[in-house]
């Protein structure tokens, strides 16, 4: 169980970096708890954790797209 918690925390940390929020992460009902209390009083904790990670990954992708030149084909895709 501890390995899974560590893996999910690493995924969130990586997503926070990509989104540019590593220094000031948003509040999280799932991740703002110690490892021993993660998931306490939260239904479907894995789904909620990955939903938060998806949002952060999307912000990171938007950030990368904004940094591309306006005429870049990858930005238009």
pLDDT value of position 60: 95
**44 φ/ψ angles, rounded to the nearest 5 degrees:** 50, 55
Task: Give the ranges where the chain is alpha helix by DSSP (H).
Answer: 2-19, 45-66, 73-76
Which letter does DSSP use for residue 71 in this model? T
Query: pTM score, two decimals?
Result: 0.84
Where the chain has pLDDT below 50, the residues are none
pLDDT value of position 52: 96
pLDDT value of position 40: 85
In whole angstroms, what is the distance from residue 47 CA to residue 35 CA?
17
């Amino acid at each position: 169980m501890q390995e899974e918690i560590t893996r999910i925390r690493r995924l969130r940390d990586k997503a926070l970096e990509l989104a540019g929020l590593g220094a000031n992460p948003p509040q999280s009902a799932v991740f703002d708890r110690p490892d021993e209390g993660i998931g306490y009083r939260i239904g479907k904790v894995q789904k909620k954790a990955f939903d938060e990670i998806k949002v952060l990954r999307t912000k990171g992708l938007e950030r990368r797209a904004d940094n591309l030149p306006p005429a870049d084909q990858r930005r238009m895709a």
